[in-house]
Structure 1
């Protein structure tokens, strides 16, 4: 599990900071991360409006960017779905 956590953090950092803060994902960075790292999931969010809606549901402080903690919510949901765990 430690390797998985390192991979998740590394990938987040690889996409964060290109549009501003190195510790957050902008909408564009989030969209690129989805397409690159979660391509099967991203198929459900192929329109800009769908990506905006998903990002808005994760963006707890409504600043238009995702912190790692906010992004982690998505990862938790995806892992729960993958494992067949109810939410």
Structure 2
């Protein structure tokens, strides 16, 4: 599990740092991350409207970016769904 967390943190930082800030994912960085890293977990990941809606649902402070804790909500939801823990 430690290695899985390491990969998630590393991937977040890789995608978030493409615009200069490694603290948050911009809309475009989030779109690239979901399209590249989660295409089988996010239905229609290649559709910008889908990723925009998903990002908006995760962006709790409505600043137009996702910090790691906001992003982590997505990971928890996808893991729960994949494991059959959510309905």
Q: Does 2:26 align with 1:26?
A: yes
Task: Give TM-score scaled by structure 2 length.
Answer: 0.91
Aligned positions, number:
87
Q: Which has the higher helix share?
A: 1
Q: Deviations along 1:50-74, whole A, 9 cap, x unmatched?
A: 2111000000000000001000000
Structure 2 residues without counterparts, runs of 5 or longer? none
The answer on whether the counterparts of 2:14 and 2:22 sit within 8 Å (CA) in structure 1 is: no
Task: Give TM-score scaled by structure 1 length.
Answer: 0.91
Alignment of 1:3-82 (within 5 A): 3-82=3-82
The answer on whether the counterparts of 2:27 and 2:64 sit within 8 Å (CA) in structure 1 is: yes
**CA RMSD after TM alignment:** 1.4
Q: Deviations along 1:20-51, whole A, 9 cap, x unmatched?
A: 42110001100111111112134423322221
Structure 1 residues without counterparts, runs of 5 or longer? none
